[in-house]
Structure 1
């Protein structure tokens, strides 16, 4: 597969100043959001953030995605590192199916049951672009910001040393409590 890569540009945000680079594989476009000192870091903080339009952009309280993204942007801005914005909406089932899964959740299904009922696995994400981005940026070791054991396993499997896991714990609310409980009890998230 051919991957198109952009130049690096400046990205000033409310969280701080960053550098940004885009990667396109097929129809999906992903981002590397780097602290301005990223190239100087031997052991950067890294978050692989999975896209969540309803959370990241609209502020949905059904998940903790926007809170985790804000936490990572603030942290990386201060401490230095990288956020890979992994554009595989709804664990890679797409926006239409994610909203269909929301409708099933409104009827009492949990996030896994909803995906399965729609004919998907509990998690359809493919992390191969993450390897490409990390290789492109020369990352050999990192301090990974995650609660997801699959991300820990994947990063280790591609030969990158994880020197530390930083939890991405955010506030629980009445709308995301069941979602987070399911991620912890059924998907092994480290919450």
Structure 2
């Protein structure tokens, strides 16, 4: 397992964005059931005026703890992993883990419509085809003329502001998420790594995340499980 917590480097507040205001559109309670058997009741929240125009959703989980720093996960949509259970990534297990951990302590999962690190579903499948020819996940994007990671978290910061969350503990292995949130004026008190979910099909993908974008995953543990 990775270290239990990582404290992000301080950000330069002079770069803090003046975010446009988003407001809550709808909040509704929904019982959820996941493929691994996890069942929870959550509030799903929709928003007006998100910067990118996408239909992102906040999933509010667990007890309300006024005064306690919320545990938050920014989870990018992955149809293949979240819905179909693809073993080529670790998105499905990360989603289930995040829901269970946040439900236990109280917090929010932001489900962001950023398929394929922001390149879209069809482009992601094109990238998969190139990975089958030997490229890693980042090289495949570059070969298609696309960004290695096209995600922008402005809408996520707007959602957090609309929910009254200005400080949080971030459940993520990705240092870029904490860095972007800091630049957008959100205080990330601690970054809490997720578990390590390896399969025979995703080890190379996970190792590329460590080597290319400094994800906090232990290389020595990245063997097929």
Give the TM-score band, short-chain normalised: over 0.9
Higher relative contact order (CA 8 A, sep 6+): 2
Alpha-carbon shift at residue 27 of structure 1 (Å) = 5.2
Q: Which runs of 5+ in 2 are unaligned?
A: 1-19, 34-38, 218-225
Partner of 2:43: 19
Q: Is the 8 A contact 1:30 1:87 kept in 2?
A: yes
Q: Which runs of 5+ in 1 are unaligned?
A: none
Alpha-carbon shift at residue 44 of structure 1 (Å) = 0.5
Residue 92 of structure 2: SS of its match in structure 1?
A: helix
Q: Deviations over 1:7-46 (max 9, x none)?
A: 1000111331111112364652101000253473531000
Larger Cα Rg: Structure 1 or Structure 2?
2
Question: 1:117 and 1:157, CA in 2 relative to 1: closer, same or farther beyond 3 A?
Answer: same
Residue 134 of structure 1: SS of its match in structure 2?
A: helix
Residue 22 of structure 1: SS of its match in structure 2?
A: strand
Residue 44 of structure 2: SS of its match in structure 1?
A: strand
Greater mean deviation of Cα atoms: 147-156 or 33-42: 33-42
Q: Is the 8 A contact 1:41 1:80 kept in 2?
A: no
Q: Is the 8 A contact 2:119 2:146 kept in 1?
A: yes
Residue 89 of structure 1: SS of its match in structure 2?
A: coil
RMSD: 1.8
How many residues were matched structurally?
191
Alpha-carbon shift at residue 163 of structure 1 (Å) = 2.0
Greater mean deviation of Cα atoms: 153-162 or 101-110: 153-162
Question: 1:134 and 1:65, CA in 2 relative to 1: closer, same or farther beyond 3 A?
Answer: same
Question: 1:27 and 1:99, CA in 2 relative to 1: closer, same or farther beyond 3 A?
Answer: farther
Distance 2:21 2:166 in 1: 23
Please report the TM-score for the alignment, with normalisation by the length of structure 1.
Answer: 0.93
Question: 1:41 and 1:90, CA in 2 relative to 1: closer, same or farther beyond 3 A?
Answer: farther
Relative to its length, the structure with more helix (as a share) is 1
Partner of 2:139: 113
Q: Determine whether 1:97 maps to 2:123.
A: yes
Alpha-carbon shift at residue 178 of structure 1 (Å) = 0.1
Distance 2:157 2:176 in 1: 14
Please report the TM-score for the alignment, with normalisation by the length of structure 2.
Answer: 0.79
Aligned to 1:6, which of 12, 21, 25? 25
